[in-house]
Structure 1
């Protein structure tokens, strides 16, 4: 039974950074790169790498625009990302309940 539960874990969310990114995006409509960086305490490069991986999976949508003359990049969770994250959390919860 444990292997069945482990198989339901989504590898995209095994990283603490990606788990944190998705957690923030699940409770916010959109979050800027700088807000994510500050909230999660990640470096520019580290955050960008994890966001790119989530974007490639189709879990995060990137919106680039200018505010005045400054570029502003915001991120939001896609419907597929929200569902995948919810499924991952449900699998994690089932694993924890089964382990008790």
Structure 2
């Protein structure tokens, strides 16, 4: 299901995601907008998409607890989009959540 999160420019937004209901062996998370990867993490290894460097994270300790929420800092007007989170390996990715970020 999808939900909306409102944010203000310059603030920090948290895009919700919880994967505890999934039977996944490896907590591998990927957040994307369409085909553009915003952030992905597998253990200590993480990747931040172009334009999101230093602004996005899914903390490793949270991910291990089942929380795959994306923390997006210093929100920009151009961040307004529909974000999708996926869990699992590349070829067997499962859509967990779709979150629309909008501005009040």
TM-score by length of 2: 0.25
Whose strand proportion is higher, 1 or 2?
2
TM-score by length of 1: 0.26
Whose helix proportion is higher, 1 or 2?
1
